[in-house]
Amino acid sequence: MNWKTLTVTAATLATLALPAVSAPAFASPSPVSQTSNSAINLRSTLDQLMGEHVVLAVDAMETGYEGASDFSAVVNALNQNTQDLTKAIASIYGPAAAQQFNRMWSAHVQDFVDYVTATKNGDKAGQQAALDKLQTYKDHFANFLHNADPKYLQTSQLAQGLQEHVNLLLSTFNDFLNKDYKDAYADWVKAYNQMYQMSDALAGAIVWQFPQKFGNESPNTPAANLRISLQQLLGEHAWLAMIAMQKGYDANTGHADAADFQAVAGQLNQDTQSLTNAIASVYGSAGGAEFNKLWSAHIQDFVDYVVATVKNDPSAKQAAQNKLTQYRFAFAKFLHSANPYINADAVANVLQMHVQDLTTAFDDYVARNYDGAFATFREAYEHMSTPALAISTGIVTQFPSKFSDPSIPSQMPVTGGRGNSMTVGEFQTIFTALLAAMFAAALGAVLTLRRKSWHH
């Protein structure tokens, strides 16, 4: 695959920072805060696509530098992401603006391509030329976005967000080159989170610009924030898990650095521990231990599946699959016991889709069906928005008063959606508070009995 043919998504849309201007008033807050309306769904879609751009863009830069055999498939996935975003923009601003958007974004991607190519060739002058073009690009593209929405998108703030996006992608790429794998995955997650933050801002600006197209509804409600936070973290889990499975296989077959696998596994472990701490703060140490056991077991089952594949052991692969089946029922029961509005069967079905997505993507990767692997990679990532919506809706339905605070304005703040990107630590803080409110009110004395049952 020639780097010159690379086309990537319009994730620049995600690098927006909203100006301090007055937003139009939205409809009065509902008695029950919504997790889904046309404005919130726009926010969800843009967040999902923008986050996916970062995941695939970094992977393309890394595999392109290495000349890896899956590089073309990663590029194809990026191209599909580009088309999906272009269609979304066309639906709002029309085909002419979408074409211009795609053309400018592709030029920006070419600048990254030039940087990677120059780095691979040891061409310092070429690297600097690519960086200079990226500097010019951010100003031109910021002007383009400002012209599309001059009231709510200001050039200087757009350029600042674009520069942060550029810096994070280059930092992640350079970390990989220097074999600073721990920093690489930390920066990769930061870049992913920044896309969520900035696409929140873009969604807000679009809804402000065309309020009637979105039923005069706000994309920024307490319930929407819960939904998007869950979507962000669950999506992160999916892509980290798939990268970890690929790296684990490559490391065990002599095609990757074992330290690379250890670093991505460490990033997954951070997610696990943060969520465990949140659950333990509500259920106590026994409840936290039960959550950790279920969650860690499901990750270990995927590890066992990878190891069995490396050893070409069909019976061990089936055993891992059987354990994943047991896990999905146990975890669904665990969630339903805490919230009766979360349907255990529906959750089990979603978890089965998650298991099938990850194992199918991995099997295709091992079989060198890379196009199939990354097509499923995209599906697996996208599918995590489903449990995010279901779980957040269940929580809001169970405790509507927690999501209808009249002090919360019915318009988006100027900070861009949630005001900052949702990291695992930030999610832990919010999720802990939500769970505390939920379970303290709902379970009461029953919690004590369930804690005892967790010991058995």
pLDDT in tens, 242-276: 999 999 999 998 888 889 999 999 998 887 776 66
Structure tokens at 7: 């086309």
Q: pLDDT confidence of 283, banded at 50, 70, 90?
A: low
Write the DSSP assignment of 119-174 as a string of letters: HHTT-HHHHHHHHHHHHHHHHHHHHHHHHHSTTT--HHHHHHHHHHHHHHHHHHHH
Give me the count of residues in the chain: 456
Q: Give 40's Cβ-side CA count (13 Å radius).
A: 24
Q: pLDDT confidence of 287, banded at 50, 70, 90?
A: low
326 pLDDT higher than 70: yes
Average pLDDT over residues 432-439: 41
25 pLDDT higher than 80: no
Q: Which range among 16-20, 131-135, 284-288 shows the weakest confidence by mean pLDDT?
A: 16-20
Q: Write down the pLDDT at residue 277.
A: 67
Rounded to a whole number of angstroms, the CA Rg of the chain reads: 22
Average pLDDT over residues 399-411: 61
pLDDT in tens, 345-361: 999 999 999 999 999 99
On average, the pLDDT of the chain sits at: 81
Q: pLDDT confidence of 100, banded at 50, 70, 90?
A: very high
Tell me the CA distances in angstroms from 230 to 44, 234, 384, 420, one per residue in order.
11, 6, 9, 15
Average pLDDT over residues 413-427: 38
Residue ranges of the domains in the chain? 3-218, 243-454
442 pLDDT higher than 50: no
Q: Give yes or no for a contact between 311 and 299, defined as CB atoms under 8 angstroms apart.
A: no
pLDDT in tens, 42-52: 999 999 999 99
Displacement of CA 311 from its chain's centroid (Å) = 32
Structure tokens at 90: 């066309």
Q: Which range among 20-24, 120-124, 156-160, 194-198 shows the weakest confidence by mean pLDDT?
A: 20-24
